[in-house]
Amino acid sequence: MRRIVAAVMAVSLLAALGLWLLPAQAQQPAAPPPWKQGQPSSMTDSTLAPVAQPPAPLKASEIPIERLKAPPGFKVELWAAEINNARAMTWGDKGTLFVSSRVAGNVYAVVDKGGSREVKVIAKGLNLPNGVAFKDGTLYIAEVSKISKMDGIEDKLDSPPSMVTVYDTLPKDLPHGWKYLAFGPDGKLYFNIGAPCNICLPPDTHANISRVGADGTGFEYVAHGVRNSVGFDWHPVSKHLYFATHARDWLGDDSPSDRLDYAPKKGLHFGFPFCHQGDTLDPEQGKGKSCKDYEKPILKTGPHVAGNGVMFYTGSQFPAEYKNRMLLAQRGSWNRKEKTGYRVMMVTLSGDGKVAKYEPFVQGWLQGQEIWGRPVYTTQMKDGSVLISDDYAGAIYRVSYAK
């Protein structure tokens, strides 16, 4: 009996000190972070890793705006600064610019005070609130697993209304869980549901672009086999959906390419996880598959460039030839030894919808192999100029054209 009592006391002491010997299975090393998933054993010592978000946005005086270059006749200037992790943007009916963040978990309202901008936090502590959209006086916000709205927000910026749930049965996976949000020509809310992995066979509920009514009813899938699209827009004439897609990591510096796609109808499959860039089978998931069975991109935008914002220019300030051209904001690579992206590209489509030209529009955030900013989204101002958000520097830039 004394031995039993002694053993019990010893076990209790070890447990209290946190020294209890766990089974061998429980002592296995922690699982690698999600971004390492799919990394081949030959690259376990790779130093490549996602670019860390700075702890705070740059001050206006710290932003080297002179490094940003655009075509002749265009001017790039700082429009707003110190907006922590500024990402997607949408305009309110009364001229308020609503800006999301992802890392910071905030949603901001930027009010133009006649030359200066006042930034207000209207929501905070949210779960990766990347997507924002505005319609009929209401701001819609997409978090990982739900979409909410704030009614009459422009009249209540100093005392924001409570967020009302619109749709809350979305997957809760954090990898690629952040969403883009936009109203389509049909008046419905479109958003992405990313694959919960770098490369895997996702359930049917993932790797797609979906939509619901503004009241949260009528959920349906629009496009399948889309690994992670956090930016899309509709052609002003055809009304077809165009979207950027991030390709998988860990297949090398130059493969696979990210893509630009379009969906003239719903129900199409764009290849993930079986086929990458329209012509390359995945070494594991692609076995027994054929790239001919899936939609090809209209443009290979480059390996690991991380295309986010997609926007058709419809204004009249830029030269006439810019009408209906597409701006593609590329946040920039991490899974590549030499960085690429970190720029805003311009895509010109021909009459048959094919890509006629793909060229830089604004660049300069990447200096050699050093970065100071990451452009993520664009939006058009009433006067026809364009704003570019930068989540790394925490800034918004304005691009205008002098006639």
CATH dotted code for 64-88+187-401? 2.120.10.30
What is the mean pLDDT of the segment spanning 72-87? 98
List pLDDT tens digits, range 335-362: 999 999 999 999 999 988 899 999 999 9
Specify the DSSP element, H or E, that contains 91.
Answer: strand 89-91
Q: How far apart are CA 11 and CA 3, in angstroms?
A: 12
| Domain coordinates in residue numbering, the chain | 64-88+187-401
Pairwise CA distance, residues 182 & 113, whole Å: 27
**Cis peptide bond prior to 256, omega within 30° of 0:** yes
Tens digit of each residue's pLDDT (9 = 90 or more) over 81-99: 999 999 999 999 999 999 9
Gap between the Cα atoms of 201 and 67, Å rounded: 42
Please count the other Cβ atoms lying within 10 Å of the Cβ belonging to residue 58. 18
Q: What is the pLDDT of residue 115?
A: 81
Say whether pLDDT at 9 is over 70: no
- The answer to whether 274 touches 282, Cβ cutoff 8 Å, is yes
Q: Where are the beta strands (DSSP E) in 136-256?
A: 138-142, 147-151, 164-167, 181-183, 189-193, 208-212, 220-224, 232-234, 241-245
Q: Which residue has 């209790």 as its token pair?
A: 12
Side-chain half-sphere exposure of 261, counting CA atoms within 13 A: 35
Q: What is the pLDDT of residues 17-68, one digit of tens each?
A: 444 444 545 566 777 899 999 999 999 999 999 999 999 999 999 999 999 9
